[in-house]
Amino acid sequence: MDHTPPPRLTPEKAFKEYGLWTLGLLVLMVWFAYDGWYNPDIQSKTFNKVGAVLLGLGALFCAVMAGSAWRTLRRQRQQPPPSSPPAE
């Protein structure tokens, strides 16, 4: 059985995907944090507090990955194009 790893994401795709995941996880984290700490009518406070922390950690991971992809993109754009051989 062939166990080849999946192809790596390009920096553009990695930045886009991790950026979207970061935003989505941050929205859910704010929602869970509000329900866990500030909403007096909710019954499952512990679930929401733990969920907010876990979503925050996931958002932090995705933000770091998106930042890494962004730095790679900036480095690639700043490098001069490969020089072509002189025309004769």
Confidence check: pLDDT of 77 > 70: yes
Please list, in sequence order, all residues whose beta carbon lies within 8 angstroms of the beta carbon of residue 45, skipping any fewer than 6 positions away: 35, 36, 37
CA distance 67 to 60: 10
Instruction: Compute how many other C-beta atoms are within 10 angstroms of the C-beta atom of residue 7.
Output: 6
pLDDT digits (tens, 9 = 90+) for 8-17: 889 999 999 9
Q: Could you read off the pLDDT of 3-58 as tens digits, one per residue?
A: 898 888 899 999 999 999 999 999 999 999 999 999 888 888 999 999 999 999 99
Model confidence at 71: pLDDT above 80: yes
Q: What is the pTM of this model?
A: 0.78
